[in-house]
Amino acid sequence: MKLIDAMRLMLDDAELYSDLLYIFSGSIRVGVELTDTRETATLILGEKKEVVEGLKDPAVRITMTGDILDKILKREADAFALAGRSHIKEKRPIDFDSIDPDRVSEVMETIKGLATFFFNPGRIKTKDLRLALTGDAHGAKPIPLVYWKGLRFAWYHVPAGAILNENKEIDPWPQAFVMLRGQGDVMIEREKLELKEQSVYYIPRNCTHQIHARSPVELLWIAWDAE
């Protein structure tokens, strides 16, 4: 399927969620480029929503290959998982570049909305939580679920022997691990606790936090009041 046709299909499919694609006043233009075929199109979001051919003064450009787009349309890939990264400078199968330096915050919120709803086929949006669809971030395998106005919510698979947050990154917002299944330890600040299934572990602001998996671990990660 041509890029322009695929984007128009996805825009039609996102009708029920259209208010979540761009949450600011005015409008924004999002350019999309397939790096292998060089096809380009621009998604215009605002009071009027449409897709036009070519790159038309976009505030942000999203890049991927035609193969990745095809897998997204067939639900063989999760767009948010392929775009997610531990650090903004990392290159991922779906990449994005903010072009307008005065609209970075708008761009980031728009990317989150598009990854959750626009690049998620079907009129009713769903996600399969399975290892084959995960991305790579923080030493584990996540599928982002909701990033919205300071809320971050993702499903994580931590392979046996791996460490979630292996670099001991510290965040200025509160978080929680909702443990689903698996065996291992959770480290919060200087405390080490054995993981218990069907339990929640709350992480204070500015504290080190890790999961050390002895067997494959599945959990939900939540952060709030996050920029």
Q: Is residue 30 part of a domain?
A: yes
Residues 184-197: pLDDT tens digits?
Answer: 999 999 999 999 99
pLDDT at 91 over 90: no
What is the reported pLDDT for 92? 85
Q: Is residue 140 part of a domain?
A: yes
Residues 137-177: pLDDT tens digits?
Answer: 889 999 999 999 999 999 999 999 999 999 999 999 999 99
> Cβ neighbours of residue 44 under 8 Å, at least 6 residues apart?
27, 28, 29, 30, 50, 51, 52, 56
Distance CA 150, CA 147 (A): 7
SS3 sequence of the chain:
CCHHHHHHHHHHHCHHHHHHCCCCCCCEEEEEEECCCCCEEEEEECCCCEEEECCCCCCEEEEECHHHHHHHHCCCCCHHHHHCCCCCCCCCCCEEEECCHHHHHHHHHHHHHHHHHHCCCCCCCCCCCCHHHCCCECCEEEEEEEEECCEEEEEEEECCCCEECCCCCCCCCCEEEEEEECCEEEEECCEEEECCCCEEEEECCCCCEEEEECCCEEEEEEECCCC
On whether both 110 and 135 belong to a single domain, the answer is: no
On whether both 83 and 140 belong to a single domain, the answer is: no
On whether both 161 and 108 belong to a single domain, the answer is: no
Residue 197 belongs to a domain with what CATH number?
Answer: 2.60.120.10
On whether both 86 and 190 belong to a single domain, the answer is: no
Distance CA 196, CA 181 (A): 8
Burial call 84-107: b when 16+ CB within 10 Å, e when fewer: bbbeeeeebbbbbebeeeebeebb
Residue at a domain's end among 118, 144, 173: 118
Residue at a domain's end among 70, 95, 118: 118
On whether both 136 and 212 belong to a single domain, the answer is: yes
pLDDT at 54 over 70: yes
On whether both 113 and 151 belong to a single domain, the answer is: no
On whether both 110 and 10 belong to a single domain, the answer is: yes
Distance CA 167, CA 170 (A): 9
For the chain, give the number of residues: 227
Given the structure tokens 């392979």, which residue do they identify? 159
Q: How many domains does the chain have?
A: 2
Residue type, 88: I
What is the reported pLDDT for 95? 94
Domain range holding 171?
131-223
Q: Is residue 125 part of a domain?
A: no
pLDDT band at 87 (very low <50, low <70, confident <90, very high): low
Q: Is residue 111 part of a domain?
A: yes
What is the reported pLDDT for 160? 97
Going by C-alpha positions, the residue among 60, 67, 2 that lies closest to residue 32 is 60
What is the reported pLDDT for 84? 81
Residue 27 belongs to a domain with what CATH number?
Answer: 3.30.1050.10
On whether both 111 and 192 belong to a single domain, the answer is: no
On whether both 182 and 104 belong to a single domain, the answer is: no
pLDDT at 52 over 70: yes
On whether both 42 and 99 belong to a single domain, the answer is: yes
* pTM of the complete model beyond 0.75: yes
Q: Is residue 14 part of a domain?
A: yes
Q: Is residue 123 part of a domain?
A: no
Q: Is residue 12 part of a domain?
A: yes
- Strands 60-64 and 28-34 turn out to be parallel
On whether both 107 and 139 belong to a single domain, the answer is: no
Q: Is residue 208 part of a domain?
A: yes
On whether both 136 and 198 belong to a single domain, the answer is: yes
